[in-house]
Amino acid sequence: MKMVTYAQAVRSALIEEMDRDPSVVVLGEDVGTYGGVFTATRSLLERYGADRVIDTPISEAAIAGAAVGMAMCGLRPVAEIMYEDFVTISLDQLVNNAAKMHYMFDGMVCVPLVLRTQCGSGRGSAAQHSQSLESWFAHVPGLIVIMPSTPNDARGLLKSAIRNDNPVIFIEHKMLYFTKGPDTGSECLPIGKADVKRVGSDITVIATSWMVGRALEAAELAAHEGVSVEVIDPRTLRPFDTETVLASVRKTRRAVIVHEAVRFCGIGAEISAIITENLFHELDMPVKRLCGSDVPIPYSAALEPHVVPTVEDIHSAVTAPT
Amino acid sequence: MQINAELSLSMYEDLLRCRYVEEKSLELFTEGLTPGRMHPYIGEEAIAVGTAAAMKPGDLAVSTHRGGAHLVALKADIVRVFAEYMGRATGYSAGRGGPMHISVPEIGFLCTNGIVGSGIPIAVGAAMACRRTSPEKVVICFFGDGAANTGSFHEGLNMAGIWKLPVVFVCENNGYAETLPVGKGIAVQNVSSRAAGYGISGVTIDGNDVEAVYAEMSDAIRRAREGGGASLVEAKTYRIGQHFSGESNHYRTEGEVQTWKQRDPILLFREKLLERGLAVLSDLSDLEDAVRDAVEQAVRVAKDARFPDPETALRGVYRDAQTLGTGTP
């Protein structure tokens, strides 16, 4: 099977959707001539022209706002915000306008925009270029929040996101862009559907984005010790695939949640509540969360890895679960 | 600029309709019939009416929290406007939005907006879409002097400048950003002077002169339609009404309000119509009565409208929610 990088998968999705639908346009900082700082929009400008691949000034509020206006008027904009940290500047448009228009205008308007961004630590980018803010978006009714962990998921879910009539926050990860994975050539993948990345029977690990790979490594180590770990990647945080997660935990009776974002009010708190509210009497142990430490991401290579869950952390949690 | 009799009378009628709708909405608030507060446009009507008269069918408008008169001037159904103000099922947003959240796509009215400045980038995006799919259209973006101090203003006007977009920014400078006098919030005399920094045309006009608004907006819209790019038209006016209904007025003097009432745009235009012999007093009185009656009738119909079923509050967050996988959105 053909292997592609995550960045190539994102680019393929953009190309396939832009070929398919002339209303799809891409805008953002350095997306055109430069081709995107993580190469995801490379050569799109040559392919589709400056009408559809728009290099913008450093204006995150207006990039998001222009995307809202375009989406209200029949285009399907894919706006890129280079770092998730910068989405803080776009929030008015996403939270007050994009998320609410369909509801507050009683369905008279829909806002089919995709906001692509990338999150997370791992590159010494420090506190203002490394955050994981997915729970901010997941907290807002009206937004869809997607966090793919593999090239194939990135491609299939980005295609679905572009075709979807609702605003989608599509969160890539800076440490995944140059990881490789099989390209199944699949068409759209369903939004709101979790993926069981590894089947197991003793304990369920629910992990997101970069942490999915670490969870799979930990599961492999645990397997050698006779512990069978099921690894679930929700892929979409809102809407959340409650069914798949509950089915797994009903089977394993144990759940560990792993994410890079800080613990307090992280998405793990919500997932833990979903499991506990539904399966309280069936659990063999309290739901456990492994999360980023409650600190800004530090710069030094001696510090940065220390504040994010490691393979060892996950391995310990699944092999000595109580 | 002097304009023909037919357009003059039609603009006069629109001015009246805007005024009466605003007055009526304040009465509804006082009667306790609106769940939320109104942001009256009284005193500023010449801007909405002169602009609407300069627009062509198909042109788009982005409005503000003070958007009632924009809707009326663009010929929204005032029964549905009143119904929305009162939270009724027949309102434009079925009672979900209220005055700050109304969209009427069939008349090109994209949205009112409760966040100051937030509509500016939306208008920019709408203009980008128009350029791509319907280049004959122009986008009108209303906002106040307060919005001119937001980051959205800077980012939006800059984009409109670099891409020469078909958008006309209409700054309704009504003297106060909520309660802050414009002179304390803006260091330059005219907001329009900022246009130079974005490479777009900028002009300041008398916003209480409906003909001046019509003339300037006609020029700016024509330039935008012909590919000449964006403009910033600053229309200076005065908010005779409160920032919001029920607000205390202690941040300005009664004398100041009275002075501006002498320059009421409707009275000014009425005098002109009579002076020029475009109408006689009885014609105007008849028109005033007729418009007032129509507004009263619309309120009566809206008052009789049913409230939305409470269950509808839980619906419609997503388009096609059932297709969103197995999860609960």
The predicted structure's pLDDT at residue B242: 86
Nearest to A190 among B97, B319, B325 (CB): B325
- Quick check: B229 and B160 in contact, CB under 8 A? yes
Distance CA B176, CA B181 (A): 5
List phi, psi (to 5°) of A3.
Answer: -105, 135
Q: Please report whether residue B12 resides in a domain.
A: yes
Chain B neighbors of A241, CB-CB under 8 A = 325-327
Which residue's structure tokens are 């029920």?
Answer: B246
Distance CA B201, CA B211 (A): 20
In DSSP terms, A79 is beta-bridged to A27, A115
pLDDT tens track for A141-183: 999 999 999 999 999 999 999 999 999 999 999 999 999 999 8
Distance CA B252, CA A138 (A): 44
Q: What is the ipTM of this complex?
A: 0.96
Distance CA A33, CA A130 (A): 25
User: Taking 70 as the threshold, does the pLDDT of residue B42 lie above it?
Assistant: yes
Question: What is the length of chain B?
Answer: 329
User: Crossing angle of helices B281-304/B78-85, nearest 10°?
Assistant: 50
pLDDT grade, residue A261 (50/70/90)?
very high
User: Taking 80 as the threshold, does the pLDDT of residue B326 lie above it?
Assistant: no
The predicted structure's pLDDT at residue B328: 45
Q: What is the span of the domain harbouring residue B129? A: 5-323
- Reference A142, options A171, A166, A165; nearest CA is A166
pLDDT tens track for B116-135: 999 999 999 999 999 999 99
Minimum mean pLDDT among A208-212, B282-286, B324-328: which range?
Answer: B324-328
Are A241 and B327 within 8 A, CB to CB? yes
pLDDT tens track for B65-94: 999 999 999 999 999 999 999 999 999 999
User: Taking 70 as the threshold, does the pLDDT of residue B323 lie above it?
Assistant: no
The predicted structure's pLDDT at residue A1: 81
Residue A45, classed as helix, strand or coil, is helix
3-state helix, strand, coil in chain A (%, to 5): 40, 20, 40
Q: DSSP class of residue A189? A: P
B187: buried, middle or exposed (CB in 10 Å: 19+, 13-18, 0-12)?
Answer: exposed
Q: Please report whether residue B114 resides in a domain.
A: yes
Chain B neighbors of A277, CB-CB under 8 A = none
Q: Please report whether residue B329 resides in a domain.
A: no
Q: What is the 3-state secondary structure (H, E, C) of chain B?
A: CCCCHHHHHHHHHHHHHHHHHHHHHHHHHHCCCCCCCCCCCCCCHHHHHHHHHHCCCCCEEECCCCCHHHHHHCCCCHHHHHHHHCCCCCCCCCCCCCCCCCCEHHHCEEECCCCCCCHHHHHHHHHHHHHHHCCCCCEEEEEECCHHHCHHHHHHHHHHHHCCCCEEEEEEECCEECCEEHHHHCCCCCHHHHHHHHCCEEEEEECCCHHHHHHHHHHHHHHHHCCCCCEEEEEECCCCCCCCCCCCCCCCCHHHHHHHHCCCHHHHHHHHHHHCCCCCHHHHHHHHHHHHHHHHHHHHHHHHCCCCCHHHHHCCCCCCHHHCCCCEC
The predicted structure's pLDDT at residue B324: 66
A36: buried, middle or exposed (CB in 10 Å: 19+, 13-18, 0-12)?
Answer: buried
A226: Cα within 13 Å, side-chain hemisphere:
1
pLDDT tens track for A106-120: 999 999 999 999 999
b/e string for B31-61 if b means 16 or more Cβ within 10 A? eebbeebbbbbbbbbbbbbbbbbbbeeebbb
Alpha-carbon distance A121 to nearest alpha carbon in chain B (angstroms): 28
User: B145 vs A216, B142, B169, B238, CA distance in Å?
Assistant: 56, 10, 12, 11
The predicted structure's pLDDT at residue B322: 67
- Angle, vertex CA B306, rays to CA A103 and CA B108, nearest 5: 45
The predicted structure's pLDDT at residue A187: 84
The predicted structure's pLDDT at residue A246: 98
Alpha-carbon distance B307 to nearest alpha carbon in chain A (angstroms): 14
User: Taking 90 as the threshold, does the pLDDT of residue B47 lie above it?
Assistant: yes
Instruction: Give the pLDDT mean for A240-245.
Output: 98
Chain-centre distance of CA B128, in angstroms? 22
Distance CA B50, CA B52 (A): 6
B24: buried, middle or exposed (CB in 10 Å: 19+, 13-18, 0-12)?
Answer: buried
The predicted structure's pLDDT at residue B89: 98
User: A202 vs A91, A139, A255, A276, B147, CA distance in Å?
Assistant: 41, 31, 9, 18, 58
Question: What is the length of chain A?
Answer: 322
List phi, psi (to 5°) of B113.
Answer: -155, 130
The predicted structure's pLDDT at residue B325: 53
pLDDT tens track for B187-242: 999 999 999 999 999 999 999 999 999 999 999 999 999 999 999 999 999 999 88
- Contacts of residue B49, defined as CB under 8 A and 6 or more positions apart, other chains included, come to B11, B14, B15, B18, B69, B73, B210, B213
User: Taking 90 as the threshold, does the pLDDT of residue B321 lie above it?
Assistant: no
pLDDT tens track for A66-90: 999 999 999 999 999 999 999 999 9
Nearest to A193 among B151, B158, B325 (CB): B325
CATH topology of domain A195-319: Rossmann fold (3.40.50)
The residue annotated as part of the active site, out of A17, A60, A80, A172, is A60
- Quick check: B168 and B230 in contact, CB under 8 A? yes
- Quick check: A84 and A132 in contact, CB under 8 A? yes
Sheet architecture: strand order including B109-111:
B109-111, B60-62, B139-144, B167-173, B231-236, B201-206
Interface of B with A in 153-192 (CB under 8 A): 155-156, 158-159, 162
- Contacts of residue B290, defined as CB under 8 A and 6 or more positions apart, other chains included, come to none
Domain count, chain B: 1
Looking at residue A195, its amino acid is D
Instruction: Give the pLDDT mean for A210-230.
Output: 98
Distance CA A212, CA A174 (A): 14
User: Taking 90 as the threshold, does the pLDDT of residue A321 lie above it?
Assistant: no
User: B222 vs A69, A119, B117, B198, B225, CA distance in Å?
Assistant: 22, 45, 25, 20, 5
Are A70 and B125 within 8 A, CB to CB? yes
Q: Please report whether residue B71 resides in a domain.
A: yes
Query: Which percentage of chain B shows pLDDT scores above 90?
Result: 93
Nearest to B121 among A61, A190, A244 (CB): A61
Instruction: Give the pLDDT mean for B39-54.
Output: 97
The predicted structure's pLDDT at residue B247: 83
Q: DSSP class of residue A282? A: G
Residue A65, classed as helix, strand or coil, is helix
Q: DSSP class of residue A32? A: S
- Angle, vertex CA A306, rays to CA A302 and CA A310, nearest 5: 125
Domain(s) of CATH 3.40.50.970: residues in chain A: 3-182
Determine which of A108, A137, A139, A157 to mutate to test the interface with B (most B C-beta atoms within 10 Å): A108
- Quick check: A196 and A149 in contact, CB under 8 A? no
Residue A182, classed as helix, strand or coil, is strand
Q: Please report whether residue B48 resides in a domain.
A: yes
Q: DSSP class of residue A225? A: T
Residue A84, classed as helix, strand or coil, is helix
Q: Please report whether residue B125 resides in a domain.
A: yes
The predicted structure's pLDDT at residue A322: 59
The residue annotated as part of the active site, out of A129, A173, A259, A315, is A129
Domain(s) of CATH 3.40.50.920: residues in chain A: 195-319
CATH number at B243 reads: 3.40.50.970
pLDDT tens track for B246-281: 888 889 999 999 999 999 999 999 999 999 999 999
Are A68 and B125 within 8 A, CB to CB? yes
CATH topology of domain A3-182: Rossmann fold (3.40.50)
Alpha-carbon distance A57 to nearest alpha carbon in chain B (angstroms): 8
- Quick check: A80 and A116 in contact, CB under 8 A? yes
A1: buried, middle or exposed (CB in 10 Å: 19+, 13-18, 0-12)?
Answer: exposed
Is A281 a known active-site residue?
A: no
Q: Given CB atoms, is B110 within the 8 Å cutoff of chain A?
A: yes
